[in-house]
Structures are given as structure tokens and as C-alpha cells.
Amino acid sequence: MAVVLIVLGLVALIVGAELVVRYGSRLARRMGVPPLLVGLTIVSIGTSAPELAVGIDAIRSGAGSLAVGNIAGTNVVNLLLILGLSAAIRPIMIHLQTIKLDLPSMAIASAVVLLLALDGSLSVVDGVVLFALALVYLALLFVFTKRENAAVKAEFEHEYPPEKPSGGAWPAVLQVVLLIAGLAVILFGADWLVTGSVDLARAVGVSDAIIGLTIVAIGTSAPELATTIISTIRGDRDIAIGNLIGSSTFNVTIILGTSLFFAPGSIALDPHLVMIDLPVMLAVALVCIPVFITHRGVTRVEGGAFVAAYVAYLAILLVTRT
């Protein structure tokens, strides 16, 4: 039954995230939000919606390490596995000016989370700190997007075209309904996934953190994987990378920060998370900086190395902690 709940939960999260991203972006364009901001904020946050729902549900259920493990694991999956696969398919060349903001922001946010967790717990106050970081990042992102070059803006304009005002108010109403439906599906999926994950962890004798770092992290990264692969095949590399880096930054700021608002004061963390997994998340973010700066992108060889590093990390995780 635990496995069934996990599978149902993951399917619901993927379907719900697709609805939220698709109709959230369309509503934003209907309201006149620039396509570049739609791609770098609404889509990035939308693909992180499963992590938010899982985080809130896990913390309310007393499985705080699962929530934090999911964030750490998801970011490692995003940057090593998904980014690596994308570069292995086709070398990545970066034209986004915002990469100058995104990479340092992701590294700084990862470092802040690690520092806050060094006492073995995370609290509501820590959540406020992380949420405040998210607001600063959003404000800076808005400034940076105004400086983007015309080619990048055209790429996002093509991906997120203006919504046609035809059909009266009905299309907008339908989009709102489908957006709300997506959020509801995500909530149900998160509840099933967390319940199944906790039950499975107890049944096989491993910690909640391990389940969060592996099954839950890989599963909740599915929206980012789909977005990145589709954008890679279409040749919209800036959209793919902007979504990945943006989602990773939002995961450790607004997603984890908001999740901690539901903590009963504070949550105790698995010591391995503090000593191993959060440092790994920070190390991966730091490694991305010179890799991106050196070639203004990621080569096929570097992409393959990223994937190999993730496989090695996952193998070590499973061998030493299960």
C-alpha cells in the first residue's frame, strides 16, 4: 500500500504541476506579465509546487527531515542529473544575463540553509529569513530581466506568447478553474506521497531523510525534467537553464521558507542531512559557477561528468545509509 500511495502521489504531483505551470503562465500573460518574467518566475515556482506541497505536508506530519531532504535531493537532481542530461544531449550555451544573478543567488541561498541548519534544526524564524531572501532575489530578478538582450526576450516571447482576448471572459475563467484544479491535485498527491514515503521508510528501516533524498526528490523533479528536455529538443536552451536554476533557487528560499511556517516552532534534522547532504547541495551549486563561467555554458563532457557524479552520489547514499 505504501508503494501504491507513492506512485499515485507522484503521478498526481506531475499532473498537478503541469496544470499549474500551463494555466498559471497563460493567466500571467493574459494579465500582461512580460514573457521573460513568466518563464523565470511563474514557471520556475510552478515546477517547484510539488516540493512546496510535500514540504508543508511532511512538516505538519512530523517528518521534517523528509521535507528538507526533498529540497536538498531535488536541487542535486536538478543540477547534476537534469542539467547534465540536457548538456549531454546537446551542449548548453548560455545567453541569459540573469545567470549572473541566478548562480550566485543559488549558492548563497544554499550556504544560508546550511548555516541555519548547523544547530541540528530549522525553525519558523529560519523560514522567515529564507522567505526574505526569496523576496530580495525576486526584486533583483525583475531588475536583471529588464537588461536582457533582444534575442533572449524573443525566445521567451515565442514560448509564452500573448493570450488572445477572444471569447470574452470564459477562457480566463476556464484557466482559473484549471489552475485551482492543478493546485488541488498537487495537495492530494503530496498527502499520498508523504504518507506512503513515511510508511515505506518505517517498513524498510531507513530514515525519512533517505526517502526524501531519493524517491521523493527524483519524483518531484519530474516537472523540471520534462520542461528542460522539451526546451532542449526545441532548442530553447535559455528557457531550460533559466527554469532549472530558478527552480533550484526558489526551492531553498521560498519553498523551504514557506514550508517552515508550518513547523511547530522548529523541526529536528537527521544529522546526516546537516553533515553530508546539505553540504553536497552547496558544493554542487558552487561547482556550477566556474563550469558556467568558463564556457558560458556546459559541454557534453561536463554534462556527462555531472550525470556520473549524481549516479555516484546516489550509489553511495544507498550503500552507506540503507
DSSP class of residue 161 equals: P
Give the integer Cα–Cα distance in Å for 245 and 152.
16
Q: Quick one: cell of 96? A: 541569459
How large is the average pLDDT for residues 290-297? 81
- Classify residue 261 by its DSSP letter: T
Q: How far is 244 from 40, CA to CA, in rounded Å? A: 9
Quick one: which of 60, 47, 41 has its CA closest to 19? 47
Predicted pLDDT of residue 6: 82
Task: State the pLDDT confidence band at 85, using cuts at 50, 70 and 90.
Answer: confident
Helix (H) or strand (E) holding 267: strand 266-268
Query: What are the tens digits of pLDDT across the range 150-165?
Result: 777 777 777 677 766 6
For residue 190, pLDDT over 60 is answered with yes
Delimit the domains of the chain by residue range.
2-321
| pLDDT reading at 189 higher than 90 | no
pLDDT at 122 over 60: yes
Contact 2, 199 (CB under 8 A): yes
Domain 2-321 listed as CATH 1.10.10.10: no
pTM value is: 0.84
Question: What is the band of 124 on the pLDDT scale with cuts at 50, 70, 90?
Answer: very high
Q: How far apart are CA 322 and CA 4, in angstroms?
A: 21
Nearest-angstrom CA–CA distance, 94 and 292: 8
Higher pLDDT, 87 or 240: 87
Average the pLDDT over 249-278 and give the result.
92
- pLDDT at residue 290 tops 70: yes
Q: Per-residue confidence at 285, pLDDT binned at 50, 70, 90? A: very high
Dmax over CA atoms of the chain, in Å, equals 59
Q: Residue 259 in contact with residue 67, Cβ under 8 Å?
A: yes
What integer pLDDT is reported at residue 167 of this predicted model? 57
Which residue from 242, 259, 289, 204 is spatially nearest to 65, judged by alpha carbons? 259
pLDDT exceeds cutoff 60 at 193? yes
The residue type found at 74 is T
250: left (phi over 0), alpha (psi -120 to 50) or beta: alpha
Q: Which residue spans within the chain are E strands per DSSP? A: 92-93, 121-123, 266-268, 297-298
CA 20 to chain CA centroid, nearest Å? 14
Amino acid residing at 139? A
* Distance separating alpha carbons of residues 103 and 52, to the nearest angstrom: 21
- Cβ proximity of 200 and 53 under 8 Å: no
DSSP secondary structure letter of residue 62: T
The pLDDT mean for the chain works out to: 83
At 279, the pLDDT band (50, 70, 90 cuts) reads very high
* Structure-model confidence comparison of residues 114 and 175, the more confident one: 114
Q: What sign does the CA torsion over 310, 313, 318, 322 have?
A: negative
Q: In what helix (H) or strand (E) does residue 245 lie, and over which residues does it extend?
A: helix 237-250
Which one is predicted more confidently, 107 or 216?
A: 107
Share of the chain above pLDDT 70, in %: 93
Per-residue pLDDT for 91 more than 80?
yes
